[in-house]
Structure 1
């Protein structure tokens, strides 16, 4: 019989230690470097083993903190409210008054990224048109609760101070305020919900198991002329968040 890959052998060892109660629920595991020394393996082997146990739902990663034995979580409400965000926020960042809502985020933007066919259709541009592409990881108590991949046509923002969503004078203020600053009025947001299963990358980032149920929201934001100015794919783990929509009433 062929021998298991080293990282799979370490998966078995670490799983046995967790199930035996050596590390309690919610307890942080030793640093990867210490485990690598203990088992005389490379750090990449430890990383792959921990990634597998995160995917299996036994462990969870916490940004900037380490890896912990996964603990049961209450399924909290995540409020998505367009009318709350009209004053300058973004529909993707509403609900900050809700318990367990995002209180921080990490973002990375790339410029001049060609729009794939599906994104180009949602933005009503030609396939391959250059965009600003931003990946977001939203955190609550330093735990990842939501992912978002945003696309904005460079034809809309290139050469302006708001081209990069997380830099410049309006960094982090959301699509509504950023577009208003360059003379564009955001008027409508359309969201299409699709249940999906977590990919390996999503599972690793969200600290859930591969194949766990997630809610995927395709969001597109339009200006008053009906032109799409941003579209995003938002991923929320179903086991941890119940998505609630809140609507305002237009008053005469």
Structure 2
């Protein structure tokens, strides 16, 4: 994938991507590294793309989150850019959804994001600089049958980001949301052609998105130049969720 470098390229700001071992998270970590950031990526597996510092971390455990940030601080310095991407799904219709299926998704996707933002905000507040990008979903804006837990967690992230924006905006810290729609990933690659065609028929752009589309939005919001954008929800969904 080719791209124009962000205006912060080479400045060496410290970035942390949660859920950065694979998929969109790994692509974000790799792009930020290419843009000149010093990047660490957390995951339960503790793996990361080449050129990115891998750190094992469970965002449902506050001690694990603290240890991960301490490791980044020891290796690179305080986190200046946080991409809160870690998330899970446990999809099923609500009538069949066990309470644990609901609470575990909330704890990872929503409370886990609270944990990492809260930890990152310490140094960002002292430095009077910070870029926080929260990964939501078009599902959080529109809802989706079989995803009550996931949709609730992703909708809650909008409230977190806008509240953080109001609390920390005067300290030079921005907090924005990227809300992807249907994106070409390993998960969508195994879907039947009929299912893909149904998705495409509902998307004004008439195609699925690419991982690079999401990465570009994150790179933009992480940049020093976007200091006057905060509390925004940036849809990357081909128009699917417009008006929501």
Normalised by the size of structure 1, how large is the TM-score?
A: 0.24
Q: Which structure would you say has the larger Rg?
A: 1
Q: Which has the higher strand share?
A: 1
